[in-house]
Copies of this chain bind each other. A is one copy, B any other.
């Protein structure tokens, strides 16, 4: 499991997080996990069994594309993923969807 989130809350957000992580340049798998952890103050920390299937899913949908490169710090080669044009479009769409979701939820979060 992850530290802070119920798995159900990650659903429908994971793909968005991955796409958004690649928005400013290619990253490889394990690096994405660290990236998301940092940017969310440790809130999201999923494991490889969550990450890699998701990446493959996105690649199959042609939203991202992977490219294997040798590691520069020693270690096995890394698979760097970058957004495709379709992926960028989808990211924009999902960002708006996330915003709408947050907006719709707001009345339920205020007050007790």
A107 vs B21: C-alpha distance when bound (angstroms): 11
State whether B108 touches A43 (Cβ < 8 A): no
Given contacts A40-B104, A40-B105, A99-B109, 9 further A-B contacts (CB under 8 A): A4-B104, A6-B97, A8-B11, A9-B98, A13-B105, A20-B108, A44-B104, A95-B109, A98-B108
Q: Given that A11-B9, A12-B6 are contacting pairs, would A102 and B104 also be in contact in the complex, using a CB cutoff of 8 Å?
A: no
Nearest CB in chain B to that of A39: its residue: B107
State whether A43 touches B101 (Cβ < 8 A): yes
Chain B residues closer than 8 Å to A101, beta-carbon distance: 5, 9, 13, 43
A16 contacts the other chain (Cβ, under 8 Å)? yes
